[in-house]
């Protein structure tokens, strides 16, 4: 054994596949040990147990909230449907009320009309009843006259109707008729006539006179004071 002797290297007689296997075993054991230490640490700290309980609690709360949300949406949809139906019913009811008011007005007018058809105690067979005048607009009047024959089986009457409006205009006497010429009428049992007449805005109408004429002779007349 001198200095000049050749170098000698000592190598293990273990084959390399066994070396890899041994290294893998060592690494696996180290990893398993580390994972066990981590899980053991969580168990000691109580983190994993609390997290599971909180997760289960949160899931239960989410289910409850979803159920409540579903109920709330159902109630909201039902309320909205009921509100829409109620608004439609109210609108329909208002239309029916307006129609009933209009029908009531017509019935009142017809009732007054037929009440005036009752024969009077006078001896004149042809008469004018229910002469009415109302202002419907500025400078415009609406008139209505009912002409009846009180006799039973009375023959048809052919004549003319003349409506005269009298009063004052600018402090002076004033008068006008519903038309330039008397209006032809054919009266069987009764006849109701109405119309509009334009009057000056400044005119003060005091009386309205309705006349039934036949051949220039006055058969019936009625005067209404306003």
In the prediction, which pLDDT does 155 show? Answer: 84
The tens digit of pLDDT for each residue in 36-49 reads 666 666 565 555 55
CB distance 125 to 111 below 8 Å: no
DSSP state of 199: -
Classify domain 126-225 at the CATH topology level. Immunoglobulin-like (2.60.40)
In the prediction, which pLDDT does 9 show? Answer: 55
- pTM for the model: 0.46
Residue segments in the chain with a per-residue pLDDT below the cut of 50: 120-123
In the prediction, which pLDDT does 17 show? Answer: 64
CA geometry: angle 172, 174, 177, nearest 5 deg: 175
CA distance 20 to 52: 40
């Amino acid at each position: 054994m001198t200095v000049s002797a050749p170098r000698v290297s000592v190598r293990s007689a273990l084959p390399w596949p066994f070396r890899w296997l041994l290294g893998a075993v060592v690494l696996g054991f180290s990893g398993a040990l580390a994972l066990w230490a981590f899980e053991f640490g969580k168990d000691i700290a109580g983190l994993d147990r609390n997290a599971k309980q909180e997760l289960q609690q949160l899931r239960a709360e989410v289910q409850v909230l979803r159920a409540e949300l579903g109920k709330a949406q159902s109630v909201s949809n039902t309320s909205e449907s009921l509100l829409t139906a109620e608004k439609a019913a109210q609108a329909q009811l208002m239309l029916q009320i307006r129609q009933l008011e209009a029908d009531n007005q017509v019935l009142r007018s017809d009732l007054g009309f037929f009440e005036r058809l009752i024969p009077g105690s006078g001896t004149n067979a042809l008469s004018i009843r229910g002469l009415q005048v109302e202002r419907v607009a500025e400078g415009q009047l609406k008139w209505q006259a009912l002409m009846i024959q009180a006799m039973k089986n009375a023959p048809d009457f052919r004549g003319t109707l003349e409506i005269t409006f009298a009063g004052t205009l600018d402090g002076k006497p004033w008068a006008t008729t519903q038309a330039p010429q008397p209006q032809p009428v054919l009266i069987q049992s009764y006849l109701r006539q109405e119309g509009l007449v334009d009057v000056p805005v400044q005119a003060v109408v005091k009386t309205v006179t309705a006349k039934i004429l036949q051949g220039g002779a006055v058969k019936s007349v009625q005067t209404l004071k306003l």
